[in-house]
Amino acid sequence: MHLHVVELGGRMKAIADVQALIPRYRSDSEQQFAFLGAIIMRDALGIEVIEMRYEPCRWAIPGGHYTPDFLCVMSQGQIVFVEVKGSRKQRNYRDARSKLRAAAAMYPWFTWCEAVEEDGWRLEVLP
């Protein structure tokens, strides 16, 4: 959290920068998943989400790095990483999909999913 020191009524006060606490999503689909993701995950996997974080980590993969859009901690203890896309036709879809598959292959002890918002939400768990 960022604090700003300002003078109010002759006294110095520290004021929290609330905007710094709100994630800035890279797409409308990511923002929608932030609000609906727990419901989408529960409906698709049959398990409750107890914690969800946006872009929480970065993974080393062959040829570079990959940052999943969301990390979900499930009620039974599973860790699920989710890549969110608005459409399979968007410009960077194939690149993101290949990075997701590479991360899933390198770190198989986690569950890796793709959530696509085309005619409603569809969640695919990678093998």
Asked if 106 and 81 count as a contact pair (C-beta separation under 8 A), the reply is no
- Alpha-carbon distance values, 41 to 11, 44, 49, 114 (Å): 49, 5, 7, 11
Domains and CATH numbers, the chain: 23-125 (3.40.1350)
Cα(98)–Cα(112) distance, rounded to whole angstroms?
12
Asked if 125 and 108 count as a contact pair (C-beta separation under 8 A), the reply is no
Q: Is the whole model's pTM more than 0.85, yes or no?
A: no
Q: For the segment 61-119, what is each residue's pLDDT rounded down to a tens digit?
A: 999 999 999 999 999 999 999 999 999 998 899 999 999 999 999 999 999 999 999 88
